[in-house]
C-alpha cells in the first residue's frame, strides 16, 4: 500500500500522473466508502488541496455522489478546497494561548502578511490559519509553521520567524 511518505515526491509529477496515483490509492482502499477519509487524506497529500475536479474524480471512482464527498470533506478542518501556500502558519487560540496573548500574535501575523485567516499571500508563500489547543499550553502561546511547533511566541518575534523562512 502506498504511504504518505511516498506521496511526498509528487511535486515533480504531471497532473496526469497525480490522477493515476490517486486511482491506485483508491484501488488500494478497495473503493470502500468507509475508507473515504483515508482516501481524502491521500488525495490532499497528492494535490495539496481538494479542488472540485479532484472531488469529481473521487466520486466517479468510488461511485458516490459529489455532494457526498463534499459534505464529508467540509466537515473536517484538515481538508482544504483552496490551494495552500508553501508555509501554513497556524496560531493556537485555545484558552491558555488566548489568555496569554495568542490574539495579539494573530493580529501581528495578519498585519505582517497582509492577509486574513483562511487566506494565502499572493506570492503563494504563506497561508494563515487558527487552530485549537495542541497541548503546548504549558508554553503558551503556541504557533505552528507546517509541522514545526513554536512555543512562547510574542508579536515582536513574528517578523524574525517569518523572515528566516523566506
Partner 1 sequence: MGSVYQLKRVDFIFKDEKDWKVILKNSISRPAHELINELISSELKGRGGAGFPTGLKWKLTAEENDLVKYVICNADEGEPGTFKDREILSKVPLKVLTSMAVCGHVIRSNTGYIYLRGEYFFLQKDLNKAISEFEEYCREINFDFSIRIFMGSGAYICGEETALFESMEGKRGEPRNKPPFPSSYGYMGKPTVINNVETLAHTYTIFEYGAKRFYDLGVQYSRGSKLFSVSGDTPKPGIYELELGMSLFDFVEEFGDGDTKAVQVGGASGFLVPRKRFNETTIGFQGKLTGISLPTGGSMMLFNSSRSMYNVLDNYLEFFREESCGQCTPCRVGCQQLLNGIKAVKRGDKNAQYLDKLLRLTETMQNTAKCGLGQSVANSFSAIVENFREEMIY
Task: Indicate left, alpha or beta for 130 from its phi (over 0: left) and psi (-120 to 50: alpha).
Answer: beta
Which range in 56-64, 104-112, 116-124, 132-140 contacts ligand FES by CB under 6 A? 132-140
Out of partner 1, ligand FES, none, which partner does residue 139 contact, by CB within 5 to 8 A per kind? partner 1
Q: Does 33 bind partner 1 (CB under 8 A)?
A: yes
CA 72, 49, 122: angle at the middle one, nearest 5?
A: 135
Out of partner 1, ligand FES, none, which partner does residue 75 contact, by CB within 5 to 8 A per kind? partner 1
Q: Does 2 bind partner 1 (CB under 8 A)?
A: no
CA 97, 88, 14: angle at the middle one, nearest 5?
A: 160
Q: What is the DSSP string of 63-84?
A: T--HHHHHHHHTTSTT--SS--
Residue among 49, 60, 68 nearest 118 (CA) = 49
Q: Does 140 bind ligand FES (CB under 6 A)?
A: yes
Toward partner 1, which CB reaches closer, 24 or 95?
95
Q: Which of residues 85-124 bind ligand FES (CB under 6 A)?
A: 92, 94-97
- Chain residues in the site for ligand FES (CB under 6 A): 92, 94-97, 133-137, 140, 142
Amino acid at each position: 500500500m502506498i504511504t504518505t511518505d511516498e506521496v511526498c515526491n509528487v511535486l515533480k509529477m504531471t497532473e496526469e500522473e497525480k490522477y493515476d496515483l490517486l486511482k491506485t490509492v483508491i484501488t488500494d482502499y478497495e473503493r470502500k466508502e468507509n475508507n473515504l477519509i483515508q482516501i481524502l487524506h491521500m488525495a490532499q497529500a497528492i494535490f495539496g488541496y481538494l479542488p472540485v475536479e479532484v472531488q469529481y474524480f473521487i466520486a466517479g471512482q468510488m461511485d458516490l455522489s459529489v455532494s457526498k464527498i463534499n459534505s464529508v470533506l467540509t466537515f473536517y478542518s484538515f481538508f482544504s478546497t483552496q490551494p495552500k501556500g508553501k508555509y501554513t502558519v497556524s496560531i493556537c487560540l485555545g484558552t491558555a494561548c488566548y489568555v496569554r496573548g495568542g490574539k495579539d500574535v494573530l493580529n501581528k501575523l495578519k498585519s505582517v502578511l497582509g492577509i486574513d485567516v483562511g487566506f494565502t499571500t499572493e506570492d503563494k508563500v504563506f497561508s494563515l490559519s487558527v487552530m485549537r489547543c495542541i497541548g503546548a499550553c504549558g508554553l503558551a502561546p503556541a504557533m505552528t509553521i507546517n509541522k514545526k511547533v513554536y512555543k512562547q511566541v510574542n508579536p515582536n518575534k513574528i517578523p524574525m520567524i517569518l523572515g528566516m523562512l523566506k
